[in-house]
Amino acid sequence: MKELIRTLVESFGPVGFEDEVRAILRAEIKDLADEISVGQLGDLIAVKKGSGKGKKVMLVAHMDEIGLIVTHVDKRGYARVAPLGGVFPLYCVGARVRFATGQLGVLEVDQREDTSKTPTLDQLYLDVGATSKADCPVKVGDVAIFHQRLESVGGRPAAERLIAKSLDDRIGCAILIETLRRLKQTPHEVYFVFSVQEETTSVGARTAAYRIDPDLALAIDVTGTGDTPKAQPMAVEMGQGPAIKVRDAGMIADPRVKNWMVQRAQAAKIPYQLEIFRLGTTDVQAVQAVRAGIPSGGLLIPARYVHSQAEMIDLGDVENAVKLLVELLKKPIIMSNE
């Protein structure tokens, strides 16, 4: 699974330009699903058909990653950029970027009178090694991702941790593939949705949900942690199991969905945590409001330094997320308010 994660996180897939990632995922699932289709906006949807006596379940992980789009090139060949998704300027100074062509560049900051303040994205410029606008290899409208390889950290195999760009949410994509691989039997009709454009509008998940009209939906994504020095208090730590969503900045998880997930985790003795995240949301914020409403929740991987070029996760949390998803899907779904 680690090599699959490496392939996914090192691929090119900024918001709205997920083609390369979709091709990788489609090759991985071609022999695992009963049906595979691509939505009008680019979502990849794989269906696992069960006995027909269960529910229609939608699992969604997004393919896209944050990135940059070129807005201007000056006469010396330096480019200015705008964000695709939640790009933090503090993480950008000195960062390398890569375009679809393989062209590399480095982000630097303008000379400023007050260097005590964090620069804005407007104060950054992109140097691609050009000497003039005429020989600049990038143009207005070209998009780039942050350029970073996957690396392992941690002293023990049992506590292996990975750092990379775009673990948000390629790790969710990897979890869906591994769940599809391990789910031998299910009474449900399960839709594995690899969505587009979550980092901006969640339009991919929204339209996929309208098409599928599921009985319930789960986002498989990352969340923050409260286990770093002076972190905002949060009852989620890396290495303590996947987090079951209670609420975030955009939604409240359906209590019936949350309770069902907790009860299954407890019965199977799978470690879990409860997530209340104040800073962001997931695709199911949009999904839950589709049609007449869809009971929705989430299973999240605790991650440090989200939206940086060195997002960090614990592989133990990933393994337990897969185990819990299989446990949730192999049996009838019974949801209650208690």
What is the number of residues in the chain? 338
How would you class 337 by CB atoms within 10 Å of its CB: exposed for 0-12, middle for 13-18, buried for 19 or more?
exposed
Distance between CA atoms of 18 and 216, rounded to whole angstroms? 26
Distance between CA atoms of 49 and 200, rounded to whole angstroms? 31
Q: Does the annotation mark 189 as catalytic?
A: no
Distance between CA atoms of 239 and 162, rounded to whole angstroms? 12
The answer to whether the bond into 221 is cis (omega within 30° of 0) is: no
128's tokens: 């691609």
DSSP 79: E
- DSSP-derived secondary structure for 177-239: HHHHHH----SSEEEEEEES-TTTT-HHHHHHHHHH--SEEEEEEEE--S-STTPPP-S--TT
75's tokens: 């006469």
b/e map 15-39, b = 16+ CB within 10 Å: bbbbeebbebbeebbeebbeeeeeb
Tokens 């104060």 identify what position? Answer: 123
- Give the active site residue among 28, 65, 178, 198: 198
Report in angstroms the alpha-carbon separations of 136 from 115, 130, 131, 161.
Answer: 29, 5, 7, 39
| Cα dihedral 224, 225, 226, 229 in deg (nearest 10) | -100
Report in angstroms the alpha-carbon separations of 272 from 95, 174, 242, 300.
Answer: 35, 19, 5, 10
Catalytic site residues?
Answer: 198
